Amino acid sequence: MWADRMTPLHVLRRARLALSVVAFALALPACAMDAGTPQAAQSHAAPKGTPSMHTATAEDSSALARATFTIVRDGEGGRLRVAYTVHNTSSGWLYVFDRGDTHAVSTKRQRLGDIAPPHEGATAEGTTLTHAPKPIGTPSPTAPPIPLASAIAPGARHAAEFFYTVPRDRGAAPLRYCVTIAPAGTRVGESLPGSEVYRVDGAFGLERTTLCSPWFDSDAAAFRDR
């Protein structure tokens, strides 16, 4: 028989071959030996130098409402997301004057239902963005613009947001956002067709209140202490 004629050299070669097969099998990854077993998901850290998102939140309140302000800066650019939520803590309805006016809508500068661009005022302190009824001016135009507003029921809240790009020449200046509210009485009428927007003809006769965020430090991406 062949096995009876094997020399010690043949035995040594067979042993080396067997050891090589075992070593190769141990070196294979688990998925190569068992295709039915899924591999664990891998998580990777963000590459160094990737811009990070910075978020700052603050509150302001009055006898009628409480407002929460959040400013988000994504990366190092000058574009900010300004979000605000007004909680009606009074027993009556509230108007929030953040929908522009009838003139902006009629001239197609703004679509009915959209949040209006805030008024921008730059002073030595910084830049203030404000949603408020636009002054009629003197002399009064023949067809003055009528303020448009959101309305909040007692105990309810109104949340909205807009984007603002900080001008290059004011990139390091602080910024704050203010929103104007006013009592609407025990009820409000019907909203304008196809929207949740209310025309407030007597807006300038109402007792208006303005709620403001603290100053936002663009470099630190944080609110300053009041």
84 contacts 57 by C-beta, under 8 angstroms:
no
Over residues 112-139, the mean pLDDT reads 89
By C-alpha distance, which of 110, 187, 121, 91 is closest to 148?
Answer: 110
Report whether pLDDT(183) > 60: yes
Sheet holding 65-74, edge to edge: 53-61, 65-74, 79-88, 157-165
Distances in Å between the Cα of 61 and the Cα atoms of 15, 56, 64, 87 are: 84, 17, 8, 9
| 53 compared with 44, residue with greater pLDDT | 53
By C-alpha distance, which of 214, 184, 196 is closest to 88?
Answer: 184
pLDDT of residue 143: 73
Over residues 122-151, the mean pLDDT reads 85
Q: How many Å apart are CA 129 and CA 203, to the nearest integer?
A: 20
Report whether pLDDT(30) > 90: no
Burial of 3 (0-12, 13-18, 19+ CB in 10 A): exposed
pLDDT-derived band at 135, boundaries 50, 70, 90: confident
